[in-house]
Amino acid sequence: MRMYDLIMKKRNGNELTTEEINFFISGYTKGSIPDYQVSALLMAIYFQKMNERETTNLTMAMVNSGETINLSKIKGIKVDKHSTGGVGDTTTLIVGPIVAAAGVPVAKMSGRGLGHTGGTIDKLESFEGFSTSMSIEKFMKDVNETKIAIGGQTADLAPADKMLYSLRDVTATVDNISLIASSIMSKKIASGADAIVLDIKTGSGAFMKNEDDAFELAREMVEIGTNVGRKTIGVITDMDQPLGYAVGNSLEVEEAIDTLKGEGPKDLTELCLTLGSHMLVLGEKAKNVDEAREILKDIIKSGKGLQKLRELVVAQGGNPSFVDDQSMFKVPSIVEDILSNYEGYVKAIKADAIGIAALNLGAGRETKESIIDLSVGVVLHKKIGDFVKKGETIATIYANSEEKQKTSTKMVLDAYEIVKEKTNPKPLIKGIVTRDGIIKF
């Protein structure tokens, strides 16, 4: 088999066979096929697309390019959750504990993430002493005993995806739905989940700016999961403004604690109840999403969700006092309110611009080597539909440098659109995609 022939075949709009896809992925992982040929094939795939069978084959070839995690020693149905990424998204820190408290084992592999803020692992490191490096034995023991563990993704999980993703990043081939779907699903499948709930974001702060594309991405991921025997559900959610109020690592952890106390932002709470309900149904701890939602609301009300977070922090070496005394989180040297120059209703908040303001403060990584400042970020006070008076606080900046404070303040002000007429925020949950079809709300 020659890579040249595969490139030409795809360039001309033909399907690649299962053997050809396996050949290309295994050759690339071993180093016998060079970057330039793979780049050409990716561009051909970008323009000619792949069908369902090819996308599933590509996913499984990437899964088989490295280790897979065998979670069979964990009792019960392991349900994973994945978000395609947004701004200020703290859901894992809430959904994990409430779902675990309902008895569904949460065996989560998380990443550090390149982006506006850190990944779940970075955020958890706000708890002094918290560590995600542990043996697979301890990981499984923790899940069996406390129903939850959050581990760092090992380098050996779907290595072909890592290589391909880096190449796509520099060859303008990231935003192809089949390539995104296979990339995300390969990691979920390799990390051993029995069932998967996907949160597919759409809007100004998301990968998929366009709602139809988000539904199509969900459909492809659900197809892949179903084809390889993992129950998969996609929930399409709004990311036209940041989720909740806090954008920044420790700030988001504090927001998660508030939400677990039942005092969190409405949108964040709603998203967590929705995603968590689907996880409970897939994990067979509730008959339907309505019953699941009641169970989860009780878990928050009774404090069992917060207790589960405490147990997680203790099990992974962190200081649990932070859960009960939020003054323990490090506060940066500058905490300054941003005042509105206008009066009116908030019509839009460019989520990506708020994300970049947080990144500029040091809340995220510009490159893989960047060191995150866990204490900095932005806390919004006003969201879409809210009324603002001139001179009223619309957001608060947490910074460790005056210069960065200034540039980020300007970015936050520019991200807000304030108008005379009231506009209501778009519905948070836009639809559900299952193997049986698509429901749009």
Is 293 a known active-site residue?
no
DSSP state of 327: G
Dist. CA 85–CA 91, nearest whole Å: 11
Residues 152-181 that bind ligand URA (CB under 6 A): 165, 174, 179-180
Residue 88 binds: one of ligand URA, Ca ion, none (C-beta under 5 to 8 A by kind): Ca ion
Whole-angstrom CA distances from 412 to 183, 203, 253 are 32, 18, 21
Is 168 a known active-site residue?
yes
Q: CB-wise, 185 or 272, nearer to Ca ion?
A: 272
Dist. CA 147–CA 140, nearest whole Å: 9
Q: Establish if 349 lies at the interface with Ca ion (CB under 5 A).
A: no
Which of 41, 43, 45, 184 is close enough to bind ligand URA by CB under 6 A? 184
Dist. CA 237–CA 205, nearest whole Å: 11
The four Cα atoms 126, 352, 256, 346 give a dihedral, to 10 degrees, of: 140
Q: CB-wise, 180 or 292, nearer to ligand URA?
A: 180
Catalytic residue among 168, 219, 350, 382: 168
Largest CA distance in the chain: 68
Residue nearest to ligand URA (CB): 183
Q: Establish if 342 lies at the interface with ligand URA (CB under 6 A).
A: no
Binding pattern for the stretch 231-250 against Ca ion, x by CB under 5 A and - elsewhere: ------------xx-x----
- Compute the least distance from the CB of residue 165 to ligand URA, in Å: 6
Catalytic residue among 147, 187, 231, 430: 187
Dist. CA 132–CA 317, nearest whole Å: 9
- Compute the least distance from the CB of residue 172 to ligand URA, in Å: 13
Would you report the helix, strand and coil content of the chain in percent, each value rounded to 5?
A: 45, 15, 35
Is 161 a known active-site residue?
yes
Q: Establish if 183 lies at the interface with ligand URA (CB under 6 A).
A: yes
- Compute the least distance from the CB of residue 267 to Ca ion, in Å: 9
Binding pattern for the stretch 110-149 against ligand URA, x by CB under 6 A and - elsewhere: ----------------------------------------
Scanning 12-34, the segments in alpha helix (DSSP H) are 18-30
Residue 276 binds: one of Ca ion, ligand URA, none (C-beta under 5 to 8 A by kind): none
Checking 135-143 for CB contacts under 8 A at 24+ apart, the result is: 136/69, 139/107, 140/71, 140/73, 140/74, 140/107, 142/315, 142/316, 143/71, 143/74, 143/78, 143/105, 143/106, 143/107
Instruction: Please say whether the beta carbons of 130 and 317 come within 8 A.
Output: yes
The rounded radius of gyration (Å) of the Cα atoms in the chain is 22
Binding pattern for the stretch 87-126 against Ca ion, x by CB under 5 A and - elsewhere: -x-x------------------------------------
Dist. CA 363–CA 65, nearest whole Å: 33
Is 187 a known active-site residue?
yes
Site for ligand URA, rule CB under 6 A: 165, 174, 179-180, 183-184
User: Could you give the residue numbers annotated as active site?
Assistant: 82, 161, 168, 183, 187
Binding residues for Ca ion, rule: CB under 5 A, are: 88, 90, 243-244, 246
